[in-house]
Structure 1
């Protein structure tokens, strides 16, 4: 491949994929098929990417533009080795909403830029020294707690929108639930988008959609750009987001590596840097912060096509769509009831993803360190505890994230010093009783993870 990763070999005859084979990142199918798959990637990211600017009041077309540009930058920086789409990150919703109340949209954009800079710096460190230090700093119990509390902290916002139009919200939520369980493949993965569409038609029938701005918008034109302002008060809101973005990116790179049979550890840092740069660019122009998208990983798993050529098509197509103000205003007409129904599922799903991290990593809640870390962090995040120091205002997400880190490492250090924790940090179910007994005895003697 070239330095940009844009010299693709034709896979087989370019029309079919042999049984047991996949289209590798450096390969492509015939261009008509590649273009079709690329457009499918745009559809896959559509619902989730647009929900973030709609919920936060940011311009959808601008977000779409920087999503496309960010994807192309990601492909260049990772040298075409990591097929991925950069869409709007849900982790930014809570800090953007909170910072807007205090500093307006420009202040929120400044926070997005800050998060992007920190993420890029983390990526540079990972590229230089590897990612093992991240695993030590943020073990699964901490990462899961932070992801969970970010989603659950938003529960009141979901309820507020749901209450504005309960019938529409319920139609949206029920559709999401039914589509996710009744259909397989790409349609099942687009359940949120399907729910938004059905909810939108319900809102139209009930007269809840306002088209005045869309009617006044032109068909072709530039997206609405905004510049950031930087305030010290947003630091505590946006820094915890970086922890989530690191976990998402590293997890997605590992998923792609497993599916393609490639070792991508040497580009994990590049992936983080690329996402950081894309987020900085979005913040300077008025878009939402980005992250690698699981929705598009799902499309690759379904199609067996991991070609980065398809992502170049997706990025270019997203950029072209963003230059239609009428299209952007159409997306912005999604009413509160639809958002309430979708957010009920979406925010809960973010919370459950945190629990999934615990389950997948067999976190042992018989261990008092794990139990206390999760308990304290979740209550602080869900109840939205607030601590104000001068211009700095730390809300539930920041305080909950800090609590997860401080409680875990503080208790672990004290337990090691006193030798008081006997339970292992991960479940030992499935091991012979004698082995489990030996591990517990070793943990009791040393205070360390067996």
Structure 2
């Protein structure tokens, strides 16, 4: 692939007014998805924004300012965070996120020593594809409960709430199908805004927190009081300050969360390949897959120290890069700074907190289905032959174990269950069954993009 002509090069600094607008563009692209994950898992959205911003800045530093990628809340970890939080509290989920970040670091070190070939063999498409399908389908009941019931807990059915969810879903679908250009990258945000507006007309939005924030702002008697009313400290959860990681640690947390790191690492590799083709540089070689994976892991570790969900590179922002051809890391960094800033704005937290579960449920119906479909697409794109018994066995076992909620109880209170068990069994089957080459398919999932290395940026700000 030839080097892609850039409107703004990777290390170019746009003029101030353009810089501001372009960074806001990336903020909008990631906003809907980034706040959806904490909303579903019960984590503070403000903390997710702050950890996303700091994680992205860390990623840019670790990749030596060569990879223009934005990192936001990871959907792959929704299920394990919910499971761990229900038994070990949010602190347990943060311990699990930290351990997942360590897995990234270990994989980065192994790639540095042994190259990339081993991870491609460990996680072929026939394993990763079905696991991604399980992640999406495993969350289906969560989306339906939020859409159909008053409190989103599956207890009191509400036709009004379900109507709001369906309207939200319809708006999101219309935005996905018919919008073009930059707006086509914002279907989740557009769906949330549209659904929220409709929910206001149905009287199911609690605006008391918004009113309280506004009252505090308008009643401020001084500049200091005004600033105090505007800014609000997010609900950070700091290890060793708010909880003891040692006392929270459990092997069940390890079995529930660590296997998902292998899936997200595979997704990370795919994102790096897409990004390489969009920008026209081989990021797998320069700065190297080891650095980008390490950056992703450090971002997840930062989130675990703040009380936010694990981070991952965002396809929405890669789409923005493809459309605008603005590859500047300074623009990405500006979006990260804005995310941190908005995390400290009390009004933004109040508005996000007022979104009814039905609105998020409507968006999630499409979103979780899309996650499952992306796993199916991985199998199709890589031309996995299910006429081969090996491939059929691996995918079938993963799907049934994962969707069926199978678990292995090691001892009381310690079990490997659901998606984690499915992922582990899938990897083991791939290692022991003969004919490993048949599981790679005929596609190009792990084929390094042939792009020219060109350190000179083209175009001007």
Report the TM-score when normalising by structure 2: 0.84
Q: Structure 1 residue 84: deviation in Å?
A: 0.4
Q: Which residue of 1 aligns with 2:294?
A: 273
- Say yes or no: does 1:426 pair with 2:408: no
Q: Is the 8 A contact 2:238 2:305 kept in 1?
A: yes
Q: Which runs of 5 or more structure 2 residues have no equivalent in the other structure? A: 150-160, 214-228, 240-247, 444-461
CA displacement at 1:380 relative to structure 2: 1.2
Counterpart secondary structure, 2:40: helix
Q: Deviations over 1:312-353 (max 9, x none)?
A: 111111111111122112112111111111111111111111
> Which of 414, 425, 437 is 1:403 aligned to?
425
- Compute the displacement of 1:32 (Å): 1.7
**Offset at 1:22?**
4.1
2:21 counterpart of 1:36: yes
Give the match's secondary structure for 2:415: strand
Q: 1:72 aligns with which of 52, 57, 74?
A: 57
The 5-angstrom pairing of residues 386-401 of structure 1 reads 386-390=407-411, 391-401=413-423
Equivalent residues in 2 for 1:24-423 (5 A)? 24-164=9-149, 165-217=161-213, 218-227=229-238, 229-266=248-285, 267-390=288-411, 391-412=413-434
**For residues 128 and 213 of structure 1, do their structure 2 counterparts lie closer, same or farther at Cα, with a shift above 3 Å needed?**
farther
8 Å Cα contact 1:61-1:223 kept in structure 2? yes
Regions of 4+ moved over 3 Å: 19-22, 213-218
The residue matched to 1:27 in structure 2 has which SS?
coil
- Structure of higher RCO (CA pairs closer than 8 Å, 6+ residues apart): 2
**Displacement, 1:213?**
3.2
Instruction: Compute the displacement of 1:427 (Å).
Output: 5.3
Matched residue of 2:433: which SS? helix
Deviation at 1:120, TM superposition (A): 2.0
How many correspondences in the alignment? Answer: 403
Encode CA deviations 1:147-166: one digit per residue, 9 max, x unaligned: 11111111111111111121
Contact 2:122 2:430 in 1 (8 A): no
Q: Is the 8 A contact 2:124 2:440 kept in 1?
A: no
**Which piece of structure 1 moves more, 53-62 or 377-386?**
377-386
Give CA-to-partner distance per residue, 1:233-261, whole Å, 9 cap, x none: 21111112101221121111111211222
Q: Root-mean-square deviation (CA), in Å?
A: 1.9
- Do the aligned partners of 1:300 and 1:306 also contact (CA within 8 Å) in 2? yes
- Gapped regions of structure 1 (runs ≥ 5): 1-18, 429-450
Q: 1:212, 1:317 → 2: CA distance?
A: 26
- Contact 1:82-1:308 within 8 A present in 2 as well: yes
Contact 1:235 1:392 in 2 (8 A): no
Aligned partner of residue 230 in structure 2, secondary structure: coil
Q: Hey, what does 1:15 align to over in structure 2?
A: none
Cα pair distance change 1:96/1:424, threshold 3 Å: closer
